[in-house]
């Protein structure tokens, strides 16, 4: 067990180094840099002034030097300065993290709380009217563009309440915060819950057909104990994998939702930073997201191993 | 009662009404507006967008400015700001300003003539400090030097007379910067003498300003501050305005097709639907065959159905015109009878025929169509007119494809001449030919994207600039404008109209009919409680 | 619970030979899987529109017309016209072609790569698994839209690039599920039995392991078919994706169209319905196909 964890930790480091190279290279492959963007706002490009600016920001250095400078800084906890605001990168990222984290956790919470039980109900009652109904609902969850759903929600709020749940000022108390975040979280979580429900259903069905379930039934175990005792605990396995992956996917859904609801989280900020070619922000933020995802996957794998006796630590 | 006494009584009542009106202005409250995106920086001199001037103009003062209570910007509406008075010398090449005394910068340092001198030295690239970007350097082609005669007097020395020099100084783009603050600091933490102090900018979130309690214009500003929420998605921010989350929209953010809905949802909203002095135009790469052929360029101008553009993009509310915004809102634009004689502005069916003839002359026709690429920014405001253009060019045997380019690469693409036809938008900082002609058509100007350079016309640019007889100057400007259109230098499609909306509680704000960059001092604005 | 399936086998046995068999088989499948039949129908309509768009569309989908800007749905423009006066119905019909290309293109491309990587990785293990798993980890550490955004920015917006941008993030998704399935499968008795009788590793992987990974793959692939169309819509919403003037449903739904959502709701409603139906159909079909293809259900 201990050696497994050490090995996995080393692998995580390798992954993160790989990620740093990938994102660094990808950003430099994208045409245009911050100097182009800054001159865009001035409506022209002056080659001499632009060269001066690139020099100032270290963009004129050879690519390996730029990479080395970034990594050395990162290891020393120095994330550099945002090209756009000229403020320390950490001061730009840190205040936005909790906002997105709250949104993501809430969305994940919604999706599991609805997706998992409904998936089980649907599988247990396979081909019944209830099953068809739940499947149609979950399919529509996967069929609606989430920003469209978000827009419709906003419009409904304006029409019915004359107000709308968009972020203008930081919320004052926990209740306001919950209220503010639950609508966008539901808009994102709807899709995820549909996915989890579908997956729970199909893997439940899969498990229910396995020999040992038939054996258990043949031995006279009650339906409930088979469904919830044997089947669910086994069916949960792929579902957990999906939840782990979905956590990373959520960031994507949040980009659009944070834009529609105007929530100043990191997801939207990342897109802005890509569009502005704000390398220090994008690189460090992507590394942070990478770290979160890698650690989540690690935990998911540990859980996977713990739940499935057939898989050994390798 | 005698009629005369009655009139006098009315006059007296009218004069009395003025202080009564002034007393009605209520101090207090923070103006909440939305902003469409991150301002590129807080340094007005480095930027060319109202994303910067709208929020930051309140931080500063100019020497002179366009009267914030009038709805036109012209030489007639220039009023004092940091200058108390000004005078031209007999040769009309020196203008001297007397400066306000006792003015302090937001950091407490006194304001003097040295600051003015520093600012214009900075703009001319003369001082020790350098701007990172200097988009309006060309404005000062005629400025020899700026001298601080004493602490409260400053003189601008020109090479030749230039009456519109005053209009340049009055633009929202011409604030006075402090000598003692580095240009880099001005980008992130601007210091001015103006009615509002900068508090903070949170990227993609908000920009905040508070009232300057020591503002040298006593009793102003009325607002306690201004707060801008940055909202990227237009549908979201417009819904936000409709739902009364904001007092004010971003400048020109409500397009004409959207306006109807805003008025329906929020009938009390006050919307100024004015020309923005931003124009749709196309840039043609005249170095690349077959666009080096003047006939092909002219044929394109003939093919463009400007009325269709205006109808589609602005529900028919835009204006057809040349470089200068046409009357009645514009001061210098060609009147309809002059415009009608310009190629491409006549009867559309006949024009398309002419265009087809020209194309045939250039070797193209129904069986030998020209394949081309229309490049533009990947932004709806640019893409939509490009799509219409492509459709209209089909009539003169041009099959064009659209190529969208990210904002980050747009100017690089244009500078490298890596395009054939480009859909472009041009905003004019001031409704004045000295801005429009020199920025966009002068030889060697950085913002003359096509590199159009005509020495004879250049001489006329300088000639009109020196003329003090306004009517004679207008005639010359029309002549120049007509020539630029006939040359297809940067053919105009239409002048853009859009609305800026306010909730009715916002008082004392006046939007200009012929510009979008000089309305935003906000010192007269107040909120009805 | 599996009652209809058993019936199915029995009915099939009763059915005659030749063309009649296939027809009755299809008819039978449709009766057994009504939702799947609906999905198939929707998918067929999508394909039909995509293939015959040039004949089906009443008007030129890119022809602008000042006089019909934001025209109401009516006799001339059945579904109304957009702000540039383009016929919405024609644009939706032509949009089917693009959605189809994005959906099928990215699904096939992404699944193919994902299956190869996942199967090889899960079955071969060793250094190959180690390296691919690291690459997959790196790819999964980047959220889909982020990668799509960077890629779209780097490649420039076009149909091909959008397909690539959407398919790449699918690869690790598929590879992981296939790999974990393969991991479980290789512990299964029938694999061990195959090994015992001396079958080669590749043969076992392709003959025994691969077919058994079909069920989750089909679920993923059909979900992807729909979600690719949705991702394209999101990319368009963020200003990337298929460029104008191509009538992509995603773009029609987003940005400028969303601005007119109150004045001209049909601009948002009809493309929205088109997307939702296409995705809905793909998902229904996928569910049914999954039920049918599952080897243990068939036996």
- Cα-atom radius of gyration of chain B, to the nearest Å? 24
**Maximum CA pair distance of chain A?**
84
* Residue numbers in A near B231 (CB within 8 A): 166, 262
- Cα-atom radius of gyration of chain C, to the nearest Å? 23
Tell me whether residues C243 and B402 touch, CB distance under 8 A.
Answer: yes
DSSP reduced 3-state for B153: strand
Residue-wise burial string across A101-121, b where 16 or more C-beta atoms lie within 10 A, e elsewhere = ebbbebbbebbbebbbebbbb
125-164 in chain B: CB under 8 A from chain A: 132-135
**pLDDT of A310:** 62
* Residue numbers in B near C64 (CB within 8 A): 308, 312, 387-388, 391-392
What is the token pair recorded at A309? Answer: 């006796």
Of C85, C153, C263, the CB nearest to B312: C85
* Residue numbers in B near A166 (CB within 8 A): 231, 236, 239-240, 245
How large a percentage of chain B has pLDDT more than 70?
Answer: 96
Predicted structure pTM score? 0.83
Residue C9 above 60 pLDDT? no
The CATH class of the A97-264 domain is mainly alpha
**pLDDT of B93:** 96
How far, in Å, CA of B255 to CA of B238, rounded? 11
How far, in Å, CA of B137 to CA of B164, rounded? 16
Peptide bond into B36 cis (omega under 30): no
Ranges of each domain in chain B: 30-227+503-527, 275-497
∠ CA A212-A214-A219, nearest 5°, is 90
Q: What is the DSSP string of chain C?
A: --HHHHHHHHHHHHS-SHHHHHHHHHHHHHHH-HHHHHHHHHHHHHHHHHHTHHHH-SS-TT---GGGTTPPSSSSSTT-B-TT--BHHHHHHHHHHHHHHHHHHHHHHHHHHHHHHHHHHHHH-HHHHHHHHHHHHHHHTS-HHHHHHHHHHHH-S-HHHHHHHHHTTHHHHHHHHHHHHHHHHTTSHHHHHHHHTT--HHHHIIIIIHHHTHHHHHHHHHHHHHHHHHHHHHHHHTT-SSPTTS--HHHHHSHHHHHTTTT-THHHHHHHHHHHHHHHHHHHHHHHHHHHH-HHHH-
Tell me whether residues B447 and A43 touch, CB distance under 8 A.
Answer: yes
Give the pLDDT band (50/70/90) at residue C15: very low
* Residue to substitute from C137, C233, C265, C268, interface A, most A β-carbons within 10 A: C137
What is the token pair recorded at A101? Answer: 């984290």
Which phi and psi (to 5°) does residue A77 adopt?
80, 15
Tell me whether residues B135 and A36 touch, CB distance under 8 A.
Answer: no
Q: Is B451 on the interface with A (CB under 8 A)?
A: no
How far, in Å, CA of A241 to CA of C52, rounded? 41
How far, in Å, CA of B374 to CA of B401, rounded? 6
How far, in Å, CA of A255 to CA of A285, rounded? 14
Q: Which one, of A96, A250, A118, lies nearest residue A184 by Cα?
A: A250
How far, in Å, CA of A7 to CA of A302, rounded? 13
**pLDDT of A212:** 67
Tell me whether residues C145 and A255 touch, CB distance under 8 A.
Answer: yes
* Residue numbers in C near A22 (CB within 8 A): 138, 142
**pLDDT of A26:** 84
Superfamily of domain B275-497: Dipeptide-binding Protein; Domain 3 (3.10.105.10)
What is the token pair recorded at A212? Answer: 């040992």
**pLDDT of B364:** 94
DSSP state of B342: S
392-411 in chain B: CB under 8 A from chain A: 406-411
* Residue numbers in B near A28 (CB within 8 A): none
Of C130, C141, C215, the CB nearest to A294: C141
Contact B141, B148 (CB under 8 A): no
Contact B459, B499 (CB under 8 A): no
Using CA coordinates, name the residue in chain B closest to A40: B411
Helix (H) or strand (E) holding B423: strand B421-427
**Maximum CA pair distance of chain C?**
77
How far, in Å, CA of C85 to CA of C77, rounded? 10
Give CA separation, B308 vs A165, B316, B468, C83, in Å. Answer: 39, 8, 38, 12
CA distance C106 to chain B (A): 22
Tell me whether residues C215 and A140 touch, CB distance under 8 A.
Answer: no
Tell me whether residues B203 and A52 touch, CB distance under 8 A.
Answer: no
Prediction ipTM score: 0.78
Using CA coordinates, name the residue in chain B closest to C236: B378
Label residue B29 left, alpha or beta by phi (over 0 means left) and psi (-120 to 50 means alpha). left
**pLDDT of A17:** 92
Chains that touch C (3 or more CB pairs under 8 A): A, B
Spatial strand order in the sheet of B94-99 = B83-88, B94-99, B153-158, B143-150
Beta strands in B231-303 (DSSP E): 270-284
**pLDDT of B394:** 93
- What contacts 24+ positions apart, CB below 8 Å, involve B209-217? B209/B55, B209/B58, B209/B59, B212/B106, B214/B104, B215/B523, B216/B100, B216/B102, B216/B103, B216/B104, B217/B523
Tell me whether residues A195 and C176 touch, CB distance under 8 A.
Answer: no
**pLDDT of B433:** 96
Taking CB atoms and an 8 Å cut-off, how many pairs form between chains A and B?
A: 134
CA distance C110 to chain A (A): 16
Burial (CB count <10 Å: 0-12, 13-18, 19+), residue C116: middle
**pLDDT of A257:** 85
Indicate the length of chain B as a whole number: 529
Give the pLDDT band (50/70/90) at residue C178: confident
Taking CB atoms and an 8 Å cut-off, how many pairs form between chains A and C?
A: 165
* Residue to substitute from C144, C146, C180, C219, interface A, most A β-carbons within 10 A: C146
Q: Tokens 């403020």 identify what position?
A: A87
Give the pLDDT band (50/70/90) at residue A229: low
Residue C209 above 60 pLDDT? yes
Q: Is B69 on the interface with A (CB under 8 A)?
A: no
Using CA coordinates, name the residue in chain A closest to C153: A30
How far, in Å, CA of B133 to CA of B123, rounded? 10
Taking CB atoms and an 8 Å cut-off, how many pairs form between chains B and C?
A: 74
- Kindly indicate whether the domain formed by B30-227+503-527 is annotated with CATH number 3.40.50.720: no
**pLDDT of C223:** 66
Using CA coordinates, name the residue in chain B closest to A56: B132
What is the pLDDT averaged over residues A197-220?
A: 76
Q: What's the per-residue H, E or C state across C104-135?
A: HHHHHHHHHHHHHHHHHHHHHCHHHHHHHHHH
What is the pLDDT averaged over residues C37-60?
A: 89
121-160 in chain A: CB under 8 A from chain B: 151, 154-155, 157-158
**pLDDT of A309:** 62
pLDDT tens profile A274-286: 888 899 999 998 8
**pLDDT of A228:** 67
Q: Tokens 């060609």 identify what position?
A: B334
Contact A246, A190 (CB under 8 A): no
A43-57, B212-226, B468-482, C20-34: least confidently modelled range: C20-34
Contact A139, A194 (CB under 8 A): yes
What is the token pair recorded at B219? Answer: 């009793």
Give CA separation, A168 vs B34, B206, B418, B506, C98, in Å. Answer: 9, 9, 42, 19, 38
Tell me whether residues A42 and B47 touch, CB distance under 8 A.
Answer: yes
What is the pLDDT averaged over residues A223-248?
A: 69
What is the pLDDT averaged over residues C206-221?
A: 76
How far, in Å, CA of B235 to CA of A256, rounded? 13
The segment with the largest mean pLDDT, out of A36-45, B307-316, C150-159, is B307-316
Of B235, B386, B388, the CB nearest to C258: B235
* Residue numbers in A near C155 (CB within 8 A): none
Q: What is the DSSP string of A133-199?
A: HHHHHHHHHHHS-HHHHHHHHHHHHHHHHS-----SS--SSHHHHHHHHHHHHHHHHHHHHHHHHHH
The segment with the largest mean pLDDT, out of A121-130, A174-183, B60-69, is B60-69
Q: Tokens 């017309």 identify what position?
A: C65
**pLDDT of C8:** 45
CA distance C219 to chain A (A): 9
Helices (H), B243-347: 256-265, 294-303, 306-314, 336-340
Tell me whether residues A238 and C258 touch, CB distance under 8 A.
Answer: no
Q: Which residue has the higher pLDDT, A79 or C10?
A: A79
* Residue numbers in B near A27 (CB within 8 A): none
DSSP reduced 3-state for B84: strand
B40-49, B510-519, C5-14: least confidently modelled range: C5-14
Tell me whether residues A142 and C227 touch, CB distance under 8 A.
Answer: yes
A113-117, B199-203, C18-22: least confidently modelled range: C18-22
pLDDT tens profile B403-449: 888 777 888 888 888 899 999 999 999 999 999 999 999 998 888 88
* Residue numbers in A near C296 (CB within 8 A): 209
* Residue numbers in C near A146 (CB within 8 A): 230, 234
Contact B53, B46 (CB under 8 A): no
Crossing angle between the packed helical segments A232-260 and A174-208, to the nearest 10 degrees: 140
Which phi and psi (to 5°) does residue B489 adopt?
-70, -50
How far, in Å, CA of B316 to CA of B254, rounded? 15
Tell me whether residues A195 and C223 touch, CB distance under 8 A.
Answer: yes
∠ CA A264-A265-A269, nearest 5°, is 85
How far, in Å, CA of C261 to CA of A28, rounded? 38
């Amino acid at each position: 067990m201990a050696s497994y964890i050490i090995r996995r930790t080393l692998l995580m480091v390798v992954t993160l180094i790989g990620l740093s190279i990938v994102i660094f290279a990808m950003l430099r492959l994208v045409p245009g840099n911050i100097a182009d963007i800054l001159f865009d706002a001035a409506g022209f490009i002056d080659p001499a002034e632009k060269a001066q600016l690139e020099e100032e920001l270290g963009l004129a250095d050879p690519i390996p030097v730029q990479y080395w400078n970034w990594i050395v800084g990162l290891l020393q906890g120095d994330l550099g300065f945002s090209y756009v605001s000229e403020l320390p990168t950490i001061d730009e990222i840190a205040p936005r993290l909790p906002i997105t984290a709250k949104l993501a956790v809430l969305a994940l919470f919604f999706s599991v709380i609805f997706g998992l039980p409904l998936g089980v109900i649907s599988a247990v009652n396979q081909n019944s009217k209830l099953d068809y109904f739940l499947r149609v609902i979950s399919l529509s969850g996967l069929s609606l563009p989430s920003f469209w759903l978000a827009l419709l929600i906003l419009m409904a709020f304006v029409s019915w309440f004359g107000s709308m749940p968009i972020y203008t000022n930081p919320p004052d108390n926990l209740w306001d915060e919950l209220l503010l975040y639950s609508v966008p979280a539901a808009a994102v979580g709807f899709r995820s819950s549909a996915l989890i429900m579908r997956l729970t259903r199909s893997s439940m069905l899969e498990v229910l057909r396995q020999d040992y379930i038939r054996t258990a039934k043949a031995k006279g175990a009650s339906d409930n104990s088979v469904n919830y005792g044997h089947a669910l605990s086994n069916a949960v396995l792929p579902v957990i994998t999906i939840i782990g992956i979905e956590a990373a996917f959520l960031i994507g859904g949040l980009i659009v939702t944070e834009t529609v609801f105007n929530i100043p989280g990191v997801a939207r900020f990342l897109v802005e930073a890509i569009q502005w070619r704000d390398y220090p922000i994008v690189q460090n933020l992507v590394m942070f997201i990478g770290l979160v995802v890698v650690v989540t996957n690690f935990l998911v794998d540990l859980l996977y191993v713990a739940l499935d006796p057939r898989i050994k630590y390798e | 009662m005698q009629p005369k006494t009655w009139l006098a009584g009315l006059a007296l009542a009218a004069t009395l009404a003025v202080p009564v009106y002034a007393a009605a202005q209520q101090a207090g409250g923070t103006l909440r507006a939305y902003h469409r995106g991150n301002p590129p920086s807080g340094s007005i001199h480095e930027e060319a967008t109202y994303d910067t001037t709208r929020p930051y103009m309140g931080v500063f003062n100019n020497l002179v400015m366009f009267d914030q209570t009038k709805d036109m910007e012209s030489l007639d509406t220039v009023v004092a700001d940091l200058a108390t008075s000004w005078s031209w010398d007999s040769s009309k090449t020196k203008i001297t300003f007397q400066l306000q005394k006792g003015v302090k910068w937001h950091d407490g340092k006194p304001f003097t003539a040295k600051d003015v001198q520093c600012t214009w030295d900075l703009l001319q690239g003369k001082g020790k400090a350098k701007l990172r970007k200097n988009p309006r350097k060309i404005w000062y082609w005629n400025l020899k030097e700026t001298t601080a005669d004493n602490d409260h007097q400053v003189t601008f020395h020109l090479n030749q007379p230039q009456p519109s020099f005053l209009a340049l100084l009055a633009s929202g783009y011409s604030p006075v910067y402090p000598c003692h603050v580095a240009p880099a600091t001005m980008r992130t933490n601007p210091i001015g003498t103006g009615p509002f102090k900068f508090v903070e900018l949170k990227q993609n979130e908000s920009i905040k300003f508070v009232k300057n309690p020591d503002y040298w214009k006593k009793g102003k500003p009325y607002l306690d501050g201004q707060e801008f929420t940055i909202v990227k998605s237009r549908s979201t921010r417009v819904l936000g305005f409709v739902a009364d989350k904001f007092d004010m929209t971003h400048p020109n953010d409500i397009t004409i097709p959207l306006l109807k809905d805003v008025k329906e949802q929020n009938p009390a909203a006050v919307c100024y639907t004015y020309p923005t002095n931003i124009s749709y135009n196309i840039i043609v790469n005249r170095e690349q065959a077959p666009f080096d052929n003047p006939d092909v360029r002219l044929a394109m101008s003939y093919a463009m159905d400007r009325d269709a553009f205006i109808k589609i993009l602005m529900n028919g509310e835009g204006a057809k015109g040349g470089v200068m915004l046409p009357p009645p809102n514009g001061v210098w634009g060609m009147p309809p009878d002059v415009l009608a004689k310009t190629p491409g502005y006549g009867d559309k069916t006949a024009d398309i025929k002419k265009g087809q003839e020209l194309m045939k002359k250039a070797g193209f026709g129904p069986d030998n169509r020209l394949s081309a690429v229309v490049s533009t920014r990947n932004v709806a405001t640019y893409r939509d007119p490009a799509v219409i253009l492509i459709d209209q060019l089909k009539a003169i045997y041009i099959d064009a494809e659209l190529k969208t380019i990210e904002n980050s690469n747009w100017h690089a693409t244009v500078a490298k001449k890596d395009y054939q036809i480009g859909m472009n938008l041009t905003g004019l900082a001031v409704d004045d030919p000295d801005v429009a002609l020199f920025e966009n058509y002068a030889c060697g100007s950085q913002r003359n994207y096509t590199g159009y350079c005509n020495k004879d016309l250049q001489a006329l640019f300088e000639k009109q600039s020196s003329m003090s007889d306004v009517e004679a100057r207008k005639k010359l400007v029309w002549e120049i404008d007509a020539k630029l259109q006939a040359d297809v230098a940067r053919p105009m499609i239409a002048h853009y109209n859009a609305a800026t909306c306010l909730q009715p509680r916002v008082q004392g704000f006046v939007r200009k009919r012929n510009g979008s960059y000089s309305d935003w001092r906000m010192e007269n604005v107040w909120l009805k409680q | 619970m599996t009652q209809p399936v058993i019936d199915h086998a029995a009915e099939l046995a009763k059915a005659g030979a030749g063309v009649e068999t296939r027809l009755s088989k299809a008819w039978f499948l449709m009766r057994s899987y009504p939702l799947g039949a609906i999905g198939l129908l929707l998918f067929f309509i999508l394909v039909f529109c995509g293939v015959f768009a040039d004949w089906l569309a009443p008007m030129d989908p890119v022809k602008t017309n000042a006089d019909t800007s934001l025209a109401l749905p009516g006799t001339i423009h059945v579904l109304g016209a957009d702000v540039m006066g383009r016929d919405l119905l024609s644009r939706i019909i032509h949009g089917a072609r693009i959605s189809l290309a994005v959906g099928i293109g990215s699904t096939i491309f992404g699944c193919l790569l994902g299956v190869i990587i996942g199967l090889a990785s899960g079955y071969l293990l060793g250094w190959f698994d180690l390296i691919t798993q690291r690459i997959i980890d790196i790819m999964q550490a980047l959220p889909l839209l982020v990668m799509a955004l960077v890629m779209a920015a780097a490649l420039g917006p076009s149909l091909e690039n959008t397909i690539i941008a959407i398919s790449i993030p699918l690869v690790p998704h598929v590879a992981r599920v296939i790999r974990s399935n393969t991991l479980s499968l290789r512990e299964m008795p029938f694999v061990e039995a195959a090994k015992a009788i001396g079958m080669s590793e590749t043969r076992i992987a392709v003959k025994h392991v691969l077919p058994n990974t079909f069920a989750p793959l089909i679920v993923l692939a059909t979900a992807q078919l729909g979600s690719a169309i949705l991702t394209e819509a999101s990319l368009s919403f963020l200003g990337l994706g298929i460029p104008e003037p191509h009538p992509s449903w995603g773009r029609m739904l987003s940005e400028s169209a969303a601005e007119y959502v109150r004045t001209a709701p049909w601009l948002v409603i009809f493309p929205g319905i088109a997307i939702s139906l296409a995705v809905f159909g793909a998902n229904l079909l996928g569910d049914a196909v999954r039920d049918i293809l599952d080897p243990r259900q068939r036996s």
